[in-house]
Amino acid sequence: MLVDAAIATQPHRAFELTELDLDEPREGEVRVRLAATGVCHTDTKVRDRMAPGAPPIVLGHEGAGVIEALGPGVEGLAVGDPVVLSFDHCGDCRWCCQGLPSYCESYEARNFGGARLDGTTAFRRGDEAVGSHFFGQSAFATRTNAARASVIPAPADVPLELLAPLGCGVLTGAGAVLNALDAQPGSAFAVFGAGAVGLSALMAAVVAGCETIIAVDRHPARLALARELGATHTIDAGAEDVEARIREITRGGLDTALDTTGAPAAFTTMLLSLGTRGRAAGVAGSPSVDFPSQRLLLRGAGAAMLIQGDAEPHAFIPRLIELWRSGRFPYDRLIRTYPFDEIGRAIDDSASGATIKPVLVY
């Protein structure tokens, strides 16, 4: 069938709105009519790192919509079901079996390969193959064929534009705090970067019962929102000595911390701000940092880079929905919606900080 899509064609070039042919769902796939898709920095990062001459690709990896068709072998879903789309994984390797599917042994091929594992793509433009299955979904399109593992059933009474960001950004921030770092009641936590991932982590720290919750950023408006969402302290990284201020607040250093910026200076400052046996994590790639290894080792502190907040999406996304229903996780306050054909404005507003979490609606 013909679908409308936004395709990445060259690094640093605006997404091109075009019409594509979508094939039939294959074995283990589900055709979803998208209602909304979150916009994430990963979409633009992947676009901007495209190799010269690479074929065009449909990106987008925070989709939500309604099932239109089931491919052979798909169980547990039905046509008409509302769903959230998240990352793909095999479900059978040792990491998937341990409840850590973001470390799936075929994670890279399934989520960043630009095609099915057999090399075929779901989209075409005339005789040209167009990349698909980004994060198992390629959600910058009005319809897509998603991998079964990427498809999570959703409640029918929650708006799909609200559910879309749960697939990656919100899941990553909240999962880092509640899963990987396992922040404890009464502890001290700090997040570096008060964007969508960072503020999701902050709200998760409130859920975890952290006593001291610190948000570090350079945007006054985001720091103000952080306070409204539960931060006990905020630090303007452009105007204050962050490490000194954290040590003054905590009187000994942080128990847990998360960097969402990917900035080497922020990551290093986070590590230096840890207390004895503190644990830190990063979610925005592996920055090149001056790692203060001896200082950390002498205090039993440590750090790790996380993928998708160590979350199992089929269990964790329903948990986040229930936390939102209870009023304990108001992530809806981060969202601003845009018509699909305004994807360029949504990306620009996200980059400038004008919008924390853009969501495209179809």
pLDDT tens, residue by residue, 271-323: 999 999 999 999 866 566 666 666 676 678 888 899 999 999 999 999 999 99
Q: According to the 3-state scheme, what is the secondary structure of 126-141? A: CCEEEECCHHHCCCCE
CATH superfamily of 170-307: NAD(P)-binding Rossmann-like Domain (3.40.50.720)
How is residue 36 written in tokens?
A: 């909304």
List, in sequence order, every residue forming a beta bridge with 39; answer none if it has no partner: none
Compute the mean pLDDT over every residue in the chain, rounded to the nearest whole number: 95
Residues of the chain with CATH 3.40.50.720: 170-307
Torsion sign over Cα 39, 1, 109, 152: positive
Cβ pair 242, 235 in contact under 8 A: yes
Give me the pLDDT at residue 301, please.
Answer: 85
CA dist list (Å): 237 to 39, 66, 241, 265, 266? 26, 42, 7, 11, 9
In this prediction, residue 124 has a pLDDT band, given cuts at 50, 70 and 90, of: very high
Q: Superfamily for 2-167+330-361? A: Medium-chain alcohol dehydrogenases, catalytic domain (3.90.180.10)
User: Is 163 within 8 Å of 64 (Cβ atoms)?
Assistant: yes
d(CA 362, CA 360): 7
**pTM of the predicted model, to two decimals?**
0.95
Checking DSSP bridges between strand 274-282 and strand 357-361, what pairing results, if any? Answer: unpaired
- Where in the chain is CATH 3.90.180.10? 2-167+330-361
